[in-house]
Amino acid sequence: MSPESQRKFEVLNLLAESYDALLFDVDGTLADNMDAHKQAYKAAAEHYGVQLDVTIIDETAGWPTVAVAEEISKRYGVDFDYEEFSTLKSTIFRDEYVFKTKPVDYVVEHLKYQKGRKLIGAVSGGTRTTLSMTLSTIGVWDDLETLVCAGDTPEGKPSPQPFLLAASQLNIAPERCLVYEDGSPGVEGAKAAGMGWVRVDQL
């Protein structure tokens, strides 16, 4: 790691000390792949005649793909099937980008350092199929004790439901969980769940 990544790694270790479980977002937090997701959304939108401004993906970071598709439909006034859009976007991402994914080094190294010290989970708005490929590519799939993804709860981020489900699966009280995020929706969900949180992109 670079000196700056080493500094961030050490900060994360300090922040984790008073918690029993660590819950990581995946895209943009563990995986350095947000630009790839934006390009996949852009390509899917073009299929429906939409010239997408990808800043919408920053605004909706952590949302389930179906929910982002619905927001695109509303914002651009174009009617399409949200599930169909979601499938197309996920297919483009898996076919063209997922195996090129690089880890966010200081976050992944922190996760691996804490393995065995803390309970480890991932909470994401992505699909289980895509997430499993991403997590395997960056080498952390076998380190997780739970994975909560799109469709596992009635509501996704910014709802607290995905985080509370992860805590329940780990048999840990919410206030003993620290959430790692790179977007506002996930932080809102963590706060609503009564959990600690850290923005890894703002260290």
* pLDDT by position in tens, the chain (length 203): 999 999 999 999 999 999 999 999 999 999 999 999 999 999 999 999 999 999 999 999 889 899 999 999 999 999 999 999 999 999 999 999 999 999 999 999 999 999 999 999 999 999 899 999 999 999 999 999 999 999 999 999 999 999 999 999 999 999 999 999 999 999 999 999 999 999 999 99
- Considering the four listed CATH numbers 1.10.150, 1.20.120, 1.10.286, 1.20.950, the one that applies to the domain covering 34-98 is 1.10.150
Q: Are strands 177-181 and 102-103 parallel, antiparallel or unpaired?
A: unpaired
Q: Are strands 31-32 and 102-103 parallel, antiparallel or unpaired?
A: antiparallel
Number of neighbouring beta carbons within 10 Å of residue 162: 27
Query: 196: which 2 tokens?
Result: 């600690």
State if pTM tops 0.95.
no
Start and end residues for every CATH 1.10.150 domain found in the chain: 34-98
- Considering the four listed CATH numbers 2.60.40.10, 3.40.50.10860, 3.40.50.1000, 1.20.58.220, the one that applies to the domain covering 3-33+103-202 is 3.40.50.1000
Start and end residues for every CATH 3.40.50.1000 domain found in the chain: 3-33+103-202
Location of structure tokens 């010290």: 117
